[in-house]
Amino acid sequence: MTSATVFLIDDDPLIRDSIEMALAHTYRLFTFDRAEPALESLQQNPPHLVLLDISLPGINGIDALKQIKHDCPDAQVIMITALEDVQTVVSAMKLGAYNYVVKPITLDTLKVDMANALETIRLRLEVQHLQEKYLTENLPFFIGESKTIQKVMSLVAKIARSPDASVLILGETGTGKELIAKTIHFKSPNFRGPFLSLNCSALPDNLIESELFGYEKGAFSGANPDGKQGLIEAAADGTLFLDEVGDLSPGAQAKLLRFLESGEFYKIGSIEKHTVNTRVVSASNKDFEVLIAKGLFREDLYFRLATVRVEIPSLNRRGDDIIPIANYFLVQFSEKLNRRFTRISPRAAAALHSHAWKGNIRELRNILERAVLVGEGPVIRFQDLGISVSNHSKKLGRLRDPEISDLSGNGPSLPPEGIDMPSLHRSLDSHYIRRSLEMANGNASRAAELLNISYHAFRRLRSKLGL
Protein backbone atom coordinates (compact mmCIF):
# COMPACT_ATOMS: atom_id res chain seq x y z
CA MET A 1 0.00 0.00 0.00
CA THR A 2 2.63 2.50 -1.08
CA SER A 3 0.14 5.27 -1.74
CA ALA A 4 -1.58 4.93 1.63
CA THR A 5 -2.95 8.18 2.98
CA VAL A 6 -1.44 9.06 6.36
CA PHE A 7 -2.44 11.92 8.66
CA LEU A 8 0.13 13.17 11.14
CA ILE A 9 -1.38 15.26 13.92
CA ASP A 10 1.13 16.74 16.35
CA ASP A 11 1.63 20.26 17.70
CA ASP A 12 5.41 19.84 18.01
CA PRO A 13 7.06 21.21 14.80
CA LEU A 14 10.23 19.17 15.37
CA ILE A 15 8.31 15.91 15.42
CA ARG A 16 6.30 16.90 12.35
CA ASP A 17 9.46 17.79 10.44
CA SER A 18 11.38 14.63 11.33
CA ILE A 19 8.47 12.31 10.52
CA GLU A 20 7.75 14.21 7.32
CA MET A 21 11.38 13.85 6.19
CA ALA A 22 11.32 10.12 6.92
CA LEU A 23 7.93 9.24 5.43
CA ALA A 24 6.86 11.78 2.83
CA HIS A 25 8.14 9.84 -0.17
CA THR A 26 6.60 6.54 1.00
CA TYR A 27 3.10 7.74 1.87
CA ARG A 28 0.66 10.48 0.94
CA LEU A 29 1.37 12.37 4.12
CA PHE A 30 -0.78 15.22 5.45
CA THR A 31 0.45 17.07 8.53
CA PHE A 32 -1.64 19.05 11.02
CA ASP A 33 -0.64 20.95 14.15
CA ARG A 34 -4.11 20.59 15.69
CA ALA A 35 -6.87 17.99 15.54
CA GLU A 36 -9.66 20.29 14.29
CA PRO A 37 -8.57 20.74 10.64
CA ALA A 38 -7.65 17.04 10.40
CA LEU A 39 -11.12 16.00 11.65
CA GLU A 40 -12.71 18.37 9.17
CA SER A 41 -10.95 16.76 6.22
CA LEU A 42 -11.75 13.14 7.26
CA GLN A 43 -14.79 12.93 4.99
CA GLN A 44 -13.26 14.27 1.76
CA ASN A 45 -9.87 12.66 2.24
CA PRO A 46 -10.26 9.58 4.47
CA PRO A 47 -6.87 8.42 5.80
CA HIS A 48 -5.76 4.79 6.01
CA LEU A 49 -3.57 5.58 8.99
CA VAL A 50 -3.40 8.40 11.55
CA LEU A 51 -0.42 9.25 13.76
CA LEU A 52 -2.09 11.10 16.60
CA ASP A 53 -0.50 13.01 19.45
CA ILE A 54 -2.35 12.55 22.73
CA SER A 55 -1.86 16.02 24.17
CA LEU A 56 -2.92 18.64 21.70
CA PRO A 57 -4.19 22.21 22.06
CA GLY A 58 -7.97 22.32 21.49
CA ILE A 59 -9.51 18.88 20.90
CA ASN A 60 -7.21 16.39 22.60
CA GLY A 61 -5.94 13.13 21.13
CA ILE A 62 -8.45 10.89 22.94
CA ASP A 63 -11.48 12.89 21.75
CA ALA A 64 -9.99 13.10 18.24
CA LEU A 65 -9.53 9.30 18.27
CA LYS A 66 -13.22 8.83 19.10
CA GLN A 67 -14.25 10.97 16.16
CA ILE A 68 -11.81 9.31 13.76
CA LYS A 69 -13.11 5.85 14.73
CA HIS A 70 -16.66 7.11 14.29
CA ASP A 71 -16.13 8.81 10.91
CA CYS A 72 -13.54 6.41 9.43
CA PRO A 73 -13.97 3.07 11.25
CA ASP A 74 -11.53 1.35 8.89
CA ALA A 75 -8.64 3.75 9.60
CA GLN A 76 -5.90 2.60 11.95
CA VAL A 77 -4.58 5.03 14.57
CA ILE A 78 -1.16 5.02 16.22
CA MET A 79 -1.07 7.27 19.28
CA ILE A 80 1.98 9.42 20.06
CA THR A 81 2.51 10.04 23.75
CA ALA A 82 5.06 12.18 25.59
CA LEU A 83 5.27 9.94 28.60
CA GLU A 84 3.98 6.49 29.10
CA ASP A 85 0.82 7.61 30.87
CA VAL A 86 -0.66 4.15 31.39
CA GLN A 87 -4.23 5.32 32.02
CA THR A 88 -4.46 7.40 28.85
CA VAL A 89 -2.75 4.78 26.71
CA VAL A 90 -5.09 2.06 28.01
CA SER A 91 -8.15 4.16 27.27
CA ALA A 92 -6.82 4.90 23.76
CA MET A 93 -6.34 1.19 23.09
CA LYS A 94 -9.84 0.48 24.38
CA LEU A 95 -11.18 3.07 21.97
CA GLY A 96 -9.63 1.13 19.11
CA ALA A 97 -6.13 2.60 18.67
CA TYR A 98 -3.85 0.16 16.87
CA ASN A 99 -0.73 0.89 18.94
CA TYR A 100 1.21 3.73 20.57
CA VAL A 101 4.74 5.17 20.38
CA VAL A 102 6.50 7.11 23.12
CA LYS A 103 8.48 10.29 22.49
CA PRO A 104 11.33 10.63 21.63
CA ILE A 105 10.24 8.68 18.58
CA THR A 106 12.53 6.04 17.11
CA LEU A 107 11.78 6.36 13.43
CA ASP A 108 12.64 2.74 12.61
CA THR A 109 10.18 1.44 15.21
CA LEU A 110 7.51 3.82 13.96
CA LYS A 111 8.05 2.62 10.38
CA VAL A 112 7.59 -1.02 11.44
CA ASP A 113 4.45 -0.15 13.41
CA MET A 114 3.04 1.72 10.44
CA ALA A 115 3.80 -1.12 8.04
CA ASN A 116 2.06 -3.58 10.39
CA ALA A 117 -0.98 -1.35 10.77
CA LEU A 118 -1.27 -0.98 7.00
CA GLU A 119 -0.84 -4.73 6.52
CA THR A 120 -3.76 -5.26 8.92
CA ILE A 121 -5.86 -2.94 6.76
CA ARG A 122 -4.76 -4.72 3.57
CA LEU A 123 -5.68 -8.11 5.01
CA ARG A 124 -9.03 -6.83 6.18
CA LEU A 125 -9.78 -5.42 2.74
CA GLU A 126 -8.70 -8.68 1.13
CA VAL A 127 -11.06 -10.66 3.37
CA GLN A 128 -13.87 -8.17 2.68
CA HIS A 129 -13.27 -8.49 -1.05
CA LEU A 130 -13.21 -12.29 -0.87
CA GLN A 131 -16.38 -12.30 1.23
CA GLU A 132 -18.17 -10.10 -1.31
CA LYS A 133 -17.05 -12.47 -4.06
CA TYR A 134 -18.39 -15.47 -2.11
CA LEU A 135 -21.66 -13.62 -1.53
CA THR A 136 -22.21 -12.76 -5.18
CA GLU A 137 -21.14 -16.19 -6.37
CA ASN A 138 -23.23 -18.17 -3.93
CA LEU A 139 -26.34 -16.12 -3.39
CA PRO A 140 -29.08 -14.72 -5.56
CA PHE A 141 -29.68 -11.04 -4.88
CA PHE A 142 -31.81 -10.28 -1.90
CA ILE A 143 -34.29 -7.61 -2.88
CA GLY A 144 -36.04 -5.66 -0.18
CA GLU A 145 -37.27 -2.09 -0.38
CA SER A 146 -39.83 -2.11 2.41
CA LYS A 147 -38.93 -0.73 5.84
CA THR A 148 -39.97 -4.06 7.42
CA ILE A 149 -37.50 -6.09 5.39
CA GLN A 150 -34.75 -3.49 5.76
CA LYS A 151 -35.03 -3.95 9.53
CA VAL A 152 -34.80 -7.73 9.09
CA MET A 153 -31.69 -7.32 6.92
CA SER A 154 -29.90 -5.06 9.37
CA LEU A 155 -30.60 -7.64 12.11
CA VAL A 156 -29.26 -10.35 9.79
CA ALA A 157 -26.04 -8.37 9.20
CA LYS A 158 -25.55 -8.01 12.97
CA ILE A 159 -26.25 -11.68 13.73
CA ALA A 160 -23.88 -12.81 10.99
CA ARG A 161 -20.94 -11.24 12.79
CA SER A 162 -21.31 -13.54 15.85
CA PRO A 163 -20.78 -17.03 14.48
CA ASP A 164 -21.56 -18.71 17.82
CA ALA A 165 -25.16 -17.57 18.12
CA SER A 166 -27.85 -20.02 17.01
CA VAL A 167 -30.51 -18.42 14.85
CA LEU A 168 -34.12 -19.45 14.34
CA ILE A 169 -35.78 -18.07 11.22
CA LEU A 170 -39.56 -17.98 11.22
CA GLY A 171 -41.80 -17.20 8.28
CA GLU A 172 -44.53 -18.52 6.04
CA THR A 173 -43.64 -20.77 3.14
CA GLY A 174 -41.67 -19.07 0.37
CA THR A 175 -40.76 -15.94 2.37
CA GLY A 176 -37.03 -16.49 1.87
CA LYS A 177 -35.99 -18.40 5.01
CA GLU A 178 -33.34 -20.43 3.25
CA LEU A 179 -32.03 -17.38 1.43
CA ILE A 180 -31.68 -15.56 4.77
CA ALA A 181 -29.92 -18.60 6.31
CA LYS A 182 -27.38 -18.55 3.47
CA THR A 183 -26.97 -14.80 3.79
CA ILE A 184 -26.16 -15.22 7.49
CA HIS A 185 -23.55 -17.83 6.59
CA PHE A 186 -21.88 -15.89 3.78
CA LYS A 187 -21.78 -12.68 5.80
CA SER A 188 -20.25 -14.38 8.84
CA PRO A 189 -16.54 -14.72 9.65
CA ASN A 190 -16.98 -18.44 8.82
CA PHE A 191 -18.05 -17.72 5.24
CA ARG A 192 -15.30 -19.94 3.84
CA GLY A 193 -16.58 -22.92 5.86
CA PRO A 194 -19.30 -25.27 4.57
CA PHE A 195 -23.01 -24.46 4.44
CA LEU A 196 -24.93 -27.71 4.72
CA SER A 197 -28.64 -28.22 5.11
CA LEU A 198 -30.98 -30.89 6.34
CA ASN A 199 -34.73 -30.91 5.86
CA CYS A 200 -35.96 -32.39 9.14
CA SER A 201 -39.41 -33.23 7.79
CA ALA A 202 -38.17 -35.10 4.72
CA LEU A 203 -36.51 -38.00 6.57
CA PRO A 204 -37.96 -40.69 8.84
CA ASP A 205 -37.11 -40.34 12.56
CA ASN A 206 -34.51 -43.12 12.63
CA LEU A 207 -32.53 -41.58 9.78
CA ILE A 208 -32.49 -38.04 11.15
CA GLU A 209 -30.15 -38.94 14.01
CA SER A 210 -27.65 -40.73 11.79
CA GLU A 211 -27.75 -37.83 9.32
CA LEU A 212 -27.11 -35.33 12.09
CA PHE A 213 -24.62 -37.16 14.27
CA GLY A 214 -23.25 -39.96 12.05
CA TYR A 215 -22.53 -43.50 13.24
CA GLU A 216 -19.62 -45.78 14.07
CA LYS A 217 -18.55 -48.77 12.01
CA GLY A 218 -21.08 -51.57 12.38
CA ALA A 219 -23.40 -49.43 14.52
CA PHE A 220 -26.45 -51.23 13.17
CA SER A 221 -27.28 -53.81 10.56
CA GLY A 222 -27.52 -52.36 7.08
CA ALA A 223 -25.25 -49.46 7.99
CA ASN A 224 -22.31 -48.44 5.86
CA PRO A 225 -19.43 -50.69 7.07
CA ASP A 226 -17.07 -47.69 7.27
CA GLY A 227 -19.38 -45.71 9.47
CA LYS A 228 -20.67 -42.26 8.54
CA GLN A 229 -19.85 -38.67 9.32
CA GLY A 230 -22.84 -36.67 10.49
CA LEU A 231 -23.77 -33.24 9.17
CA ILE A 232 -22.95 -31.51 12.46
CA GLU A 233 -19.36 -32.67 12.04
CA ALA A 234 -19.25 -32.11 8.28
CA ALA A 235 -20.37 -28.50 8.78
CA ALA A 236 -17.58 -27.81 11.31
CA ASP A 237 -16.43 -24.17 11.19
CA GLY A 238 -19.38 -23.44 8.96
CA THR A 239 -23.16 -23.48 9.19
CA LEU A 240 -25.70 -26.28 9.48
CA PHE A 241 -29.14 -25.24 8.28
CA LEU A 242 -31.95 -27.27 9.84
CA ASP A 243 -35.02 -26.66 7.73
CA GLU A 244 -38.49 -27.48 9.14
CA VAL A 245 -36.85 -27.91 12.54
CA GLY A 246 -40.30 -28.07 14.17
CA ASP A 247 -40.64 -31.61 12.75
CA LEU A 248 -37.58 -32.99 14.56
CA SER A 249 -38.19 -36.28 16.41
CA PRO A 250 -38.05 -36.29 20.25
CA GLY A 251 -34.83 -38.39 20.25
CA ALA A 252 -33.06 -36.06 17.85
CA GLN A 253 -34.35 -33.05 19.83
CA ALA A 254 -32.66 -34.31 23.02
CA LYS A 255 -29.35 -34.94 21.25
CA LEU A 256 -29.42 -31.65 19.41
CA LEU A 257 -30.07 -29.86 22.71
CA ARG A 258 -26.99 -31.48 24.26
CA PHE A 259 -24.89 -30.43 21.28
CA LEU A 260 -26.13 -26.85 21.41
CA GLU A 261 -25.46 -26.63 25.16
CA SER A 262 -21.96 -28.08 25.12
CA GLY A 263 -20.71 -28.27 21.52
CA GLU A 264 -20.35 -32.05 22.13
CA PHE A 265 -21.99 -35.03 20.51
CA TYR A 266 -21.64 -38.80 20.20
CA LYS A 267 -21.94 -40.77 16.99
CA ILE A 268 -24.55 -43.52 17.08
CA GLY A 269 -22.96 -46.66 18.53
CA SER A 270 -19.98 -44.78 19.97
CA ILE A 271 -18.96 -43.66 23.44
CA GLU A 272 -16.32 -41.30 22.11
CA LYS A 273 -17.17 -37.69 22.67
CA HIS A 274 -16.67 -35.30 19.72
CA THR A 275 -16.45 -31.54 19.90
CA VAL A 276 -17.06 -29.26 16.94
CA ASN A 277 -17.70 -25.63 16.29
CA THR A 278 -20.72 -25.54 13.98
CA ARG A 279 -23.26 -22.74 13.88
CA VAL A 280 -26.84 -23.99 13.75
CA VAL A 281 -29.33 -21.89 11.83
CA SER A 282 -32.81 -23.37 11.76
CA ALA A 283 -36.08 -22.46 10.12
CA SER A 284 -39.75 -23.25 10.41
CA ASN A 285 -43.14 -22.04 9.31
CA LYS A 286 -44.77 -23.56 12.41
CA ASP A 287 -45.99 -21.79 15.52
CA PHE A 288 -43.65 -22.97 18.29
CA GLU A 289 -46.00 -21.86 21.07
CA VAL A 290 -48.51 -24.40 19.74
CA LEU A 291 -45.89 -27.13 19.23
CA ILE A 292 -44.57 -26.63 22.78
CA ALA A 293 -48.07 -26.54 24.28
CA LYS A 294 -48.90 -29.83 22.54
CA GLY A 295 -45.69 -31.42 23.84
CA LEU A 296 -44.32 -31.86 20.32
CA PHE A 297 -41.30 -29.61 20.80
CA ARG A 298 -39.02 -29.15 23.81
CA GLU A 299 -39.17 -25.64 25.17
CA ASP A 300 -35.51 -25.77 26.30
CA LEU A 301 -34.43 -26.68 22.77
CA TYR A 302 -36.57 -23.90 21.34
CA PHE A 303 -34.75 -21.34 23.51
CA ARG A 304 -31.37 -22.77 22.50
CA LEU A 305 -32.20 -22.67 18.81
CA ALA A 306 -33.62 -19.20 19.07
CA THR A 307 -30.71 -17.36 20.69
CA VAL A 308 -31.66 -14.90 17.99
CA ARG A 309 -35.04 -15.04 16.27
CA VAL A 310 -35.55 -13.62 12.80
CA GLU A 311 -39.14 -13.22 11.70
CA ILE A 312 -39.66 -12.72 8.00
CA PRO A 313 -42.94 -10.96 7.30
CA SER A 314 -45.19 -12.41 4.62
CA LEU A 315 -45.22 -10.69 1.23
CA ASN A 316 -48.77 -9.46 1.89
CA ARG A 317 -47.38 -7.41 4.77
CA ARG A 318 -44.67 -5.75 2.70
CA GLY A 319 -46.41 -4.47 -0.39
CA ASP A 320 -43.51 -2.14 -1.23
CA ASP A 321 -41.38 -5.18 -2.09
CA ILE A 322 -43.76 -6.75 -4.64
CA ILE A 323 -42.90 -4.68 -7.70
CA PRO A 324 -39.11 -4.42 -7.09
CA ILE A 325 -38.91 -8.21 -6.60
CA ALA A 326 -41.17 -8.79 -9.64
CA ASN A 327 -38.89 -6.53 -11.73
CA TYR A 328 -35.87 -8.46 -10.50
CA PHE A 329 -37.43 -11.77 -11.58
CA LEU A 330 -38.51 -10.18 -14.87
CA VAL A 331 -34.90 -9.33 -15.69
CA GLN A 332 -33.64 -12.67 -14.43
CA PHE A 333 -36.09 -14.80 -16.43
CA SER A 334 -35.82 -12.63 -19.54
CA GLU A 335 -32.10 -13.37 -19.59
CA LYS A 336 -32.50 -17.02 -18.71
CA LEU A 337 -35.25 -17.71 -21.23
CA ASN A 338 -33.79 -15.38 -23.80
CA ARG A 339 -36.91 -13.21 -24.06
CA ARG A 340 -37.06 -9.46 -24.34
CA PHE A 341 -39.22 -8.15 -21.52
CA THR A 342 -38.72 -4.62 -20.32
CA ARG A 343 -41.51 -3.79 -17.91
CA ILE A 344 -44.77 -4.69 -16.20
CA SER A 345 -47.94 -2.93 -17.37
CA PRO A 346 -49.74 -0.75 -14.81
CA ARG A 347 -52.70 -3.13 -14.80
CA ALA A 348 -50.49 -6.17 -14.22
CA ALA A 349 -48.66 -4.27 -11.49
CA ALA A 350 -51.98 -3.42 -9.84
CA ALA A 351 -52.99 -7.08 -9.98
CA LEU A 352 -49.68 -8.16 -8.42
CA HIS A 353 -50.21 -5.60 -5.69
CA SER A 354 -53.67 -6.78 -4.82
CA HIS A 355 -53.04 -10.51 -5.14
CA ALA A 356 -53.28 -12.55 -1.93
CA TRP A 357 -49.79 -14.08 -1.75
CA LYS A 358 -50.15 -17.46 -0.10
CA GLY A 359 -46.87 -18.80 -1.51
CA ASN A 360 -45.07 -15.49 -0.93
CA ILE A 361 -41.92 -14.83 -2.96
CA ARG A 362 -41.74 -18.32 -4.40
CA GLU A 363 -45.24 -17.80 -5.84
CA LEU A 364 -44.24 -14.39 -7.23
CA ARG A 365 -41.17 -15.99 -8.81
CA ASN A 366 -43.30 -18.72 -10.43
CA ILE A 367 -45.83 -16.20 -11.74
CA LEU A 368 -43.10 -14.08 -13.31
CA GLU A 369 -41.39 -17.11 -14.83
CA ARG A 370 -44.66 -18.18 -16.40
CA ALA A 371 -45.43 -14.65 -17.62
CA VAL A 372 -42.04 -14.33 -19.32
CA LEU A 373 -42.53 -17.73 -20.88
CA VAL A 374 -46.07 -17.27 -22.22
CA GLY A 375 -46.26 -13.49 -22.74
CA GLU A 376 -45.53 -11.88 -26.06
CA GLY A 377 -43.46 -9.06 -24.62
CA PRO A 378 -41.95 -6.59 -24.32
CA VAL A 379 -44.48 -5.68 -21.59
CA ILE A 380 -45.94 -8.12 -19.07
CA ARG A 381 -49.72 -7.81 -19.39
CA PHE A 382 -52.32 -8.72 -16.80
CA GLN A 383 -53.39 -11.82 -18.72
CA ASP A 384 -49.75 -13.07 -18.86
CA LEU A 385 -49.77 -13.42 -15.10
CA GLY A 386 -52.39 -16.17 -15.01
CA ILE A 387 -53.63 -14.83 -11.70
CA SER A 388 -57.15 -16.06 -11.10
CA VAL A 389 -59.48 -13.15 -10.72
CA SER A 390 -61.34 -14.73 -7.83
CA ASN A 391 -58.14 -14.79 -5.81
CA HIS A 392 -57.29 -11.29 -6.98
CA SER A 393 -60.64 -9.86 -6.01
CA LYS A 394 -60.67 -11.63 -2.65
CA LYS A 395 -58.01 -9.26 -1.36
CA LEU A 396 -59.54 -6.29 -3.10
CA GLY A 397 -62.93 -7.06 -1.60
CA ARG A 398 -64.51 -6.28 -4.96
CA LEU A 399 -63.10 -6.10 -8.46
CA ARG A 400 -61.94 -2.57 -8.92
CA ASP A 401 -59.38 -2.62 -11.66
CA PRO A 402 -59.31 0.71 -13.54
CA GLU A 403 -58.51 -1.07 -16.80
CA ILE A 404 -61.55 -3.35 -16.47
CA SER A 405 -64.07 -0.88 -15.28
CA ASP A 406 -64.45 2.86 -15.51
CA LEU A 407 -67.14 2.84 -12.85
CA SER A 408 -64.51 3.19 -10.13
CA GLY A 409 -64.17 6.37 -8.13
CA ASN A 410 -67.39 8.28 -7.81
CA GLY A 411 -69.03 6.53 -10.75
CA PRO A 412 -71.34 8.12 -13.36
CA SER A 413 -73.81 10.68 -12.12
CA LEU A 414 -77.53 10.00 -11.98
CA PRO A 415 -79.42 12.39 -14.36
CA PRO A 416 -82.52 14.21 -12.97
CA GLU A 417 -84.84 12.23 -15.27
CA GLY A 418 -83.44 8.96 -13.86
CA ILE A 419 -82.08 5.95 -15.77
CA ASP A 420 -83.36 2.68 -17.22
CA MET A 421 -81.60 0.35 -14.81
CA PRO A 422 -82.69 -2.99 -16.35
CA SER A 423 -81.53 -2.02 -19.84
CA LEU A 424 -78.32 -0.56 -18.46
CA HIS A 425 -77.70 -3.87 -16.68
CA ARG A 426 -78.35 -5.79 -19.87
CA SER A 427 -75.93 -3.70 -21.89
CA LEU A 428 -73.25 -3.90 -19.19
CA ASP A 429 -73.72 -7.67 -18.96
CA SER A 430 -73.47 -8.14 -22.74
CA HIS A 431 -70.45 -5.85 -22.90
CA TYR A 432 -68.55 -7.81 -20.24
CA ILE A 433 -69.62 -11.23 -21.51
CA ARG A 434 -68.25 -10.31 -24.95
CA ARG A 435 -65.05 -8.77 -23.56
CA SER A 436 -64.36 -11.68 -21.24
CA LEU A 437 -64.86 -14.19 -24.05
CA GLU A 438 -62.48 -12.21 -26.24
CA MET A 439 -59.87 -12.09 -23.47
CA ALA A 440 -60.26 -15.78 -22.71
CA ASN A 441 -60.02 -16.71 -26.41
CA GLY A 442 -63.55 -18.13 -26.34
CA ASN A 443 -62.91 -20.32 -23.29
CA ALA A 444 -66.17 -19.92 -21.31
CA SER A 445 -64.92 -21.18 -17.96
CA ARG A 446 -61.91 -18.83 -18.08
CA ALA A 447 -64.27 -15.98 -19.12
CA ALA A 448 -66.49 -16.81 -16.11
CA GLU A 449 -63.43 -16.64 -13.89
CA LEU A 450 -62.57 -13.22 -15.26
CA LEU A 451 -66.03 -12.02 -14.22
CA ASN A 452 -65.82 -13.74 -10.85
CA ILE A 453 -69.03 -15.74 -11.47
CA SER A 454 -69.61 -19.48 -11.69
CA TYR A 455 -69.47 -21.25 -15.04
CA HIS A 456 -73.21 -22.07 -14.76
CA ALA A 457 -74.13 -18.49 -13.99
CA PHE A 458 -72.04 -17.41 -16.98
CA ARG A 459 -73.81 -19.86 -19.31
CA ARG A 460 -77.25 -18.84 -18.05
CA LEU A 461 -76.49 -15.16 -18.55
CA ARG A 462 -75.00 -15.75 -21.97
CA SER A 463 -78.03 -17.65 -23.27
CA LYS A 464 -80.45 -15.14 -21.67
CA LEU A 465 -78.72 -12.35 -23.58
CA GLY A 466 -78.62 -14.47 -26.72
CA LEU A 467 -74.85 -14.25 -27.11
Ligand X SMILES: Nc1ncnc2c1ncn2[C@@H]1O[C@H](COP(=O)(O)OP(=O)(O)OP(=O)(O)O)[C@@H](O)[C@H]1O
> What does the angle CA 295 – CA 302 – CA 232 come to, to the nearest 5 degrees?
115
Binding span for ligand X by CB under 6 A among 20-28, 360-368, 408-416, 425-433: 360-368
Q: Which of 260, 258, 253, 242 is closest to 169 using CA atoms?
A: 242
Among 12, 178, 216, 320, the residue binding Mg ion under the rule CB under 5 A is 178
81/183 with CB nearer ligand X: 183
Q: Which of 311, 13, 63 is closest to 177 using CA atoms?
A: 311
Query: How far is it, in rounded angstroms, from Cα 425 to Cα 423?
Result: 5
Strands 273-275 and 264-266: antiparallel
Binding span for ligand X by CB under 6 A among 116-124, 176-184, 390-398, 450-458: 176-184
Q: Which of residues 114-143 bind ligand X (CB under 6 A)?
A: 140-143
C-alpha separations of 450 from 189, 311, 353 in Å: 52, 36, 17
CB distance 381 to 347 below 8 Å: yes
Strand ranges, E, within 42-98: 49-53, 76-81
Quick note: the x/- pattern for ligand X over 141-170, rule CB under 6 A, is: xxxx--------------------------
Q: Give phi and psi for 396, each to the nearest 5.
A: -70, -20
Binding partner selected for residue 193 from Mg ion, ligand X, none, CB under the kind-specific 5 to 8 Å limit = none
CA dihedral 381, 383, 386, 387 (to 10 degrees): 90
Query: How far is it, in rounded angstroms, from Cα 46 to Cα 400?
Result: 55
Is residue 320 near ligand X by the rule CB under 6 A? no
Residue 333: CB minimum distance to ligand X, A? 12
322/461 with CB nearer ligand X: 322
Is residue 214 near ligand X by the rule CB under 6 A? no
Is residue 325 near ligand X by the rule CB under 6 A? yes
Is residue 187 near ligand X by the rule CB under 6 A? no
Residue 245: CB minimum distance to ligand X, A? 12
Binding span for Mg ion by CB under 5 A among 31-39, 171-179, 260-268, 273-281: 171-179
Is residue 63 near Mg ion by the rule CB under 5 A? no
Strand ranges, E, within 24-120: 28-32, 49-53, 76-81, 99-102
Q: Looking at 139-234, list the stretches that DSSP marks H as alpha helix, in order from N- to C-terminal side.
A: 147-161, 177-186, 205-213, 231-234
Among 16, 48, 177, 267, the residue binding ligand X under the rule CB under 6 A is 177
Is residue 197 near ligand X by the rule CB under 6 A? no
Residue 308: CB minimum distance to ligand X, A? 17
Is residue 285 near ligand X by the rule CB under 6 A? yes
Question: Which parts of this chain interact with ligand X (CB under 6 A)?
Answer: 140-144, 171, 173-179, 285, 325, 328, 361-362, 365
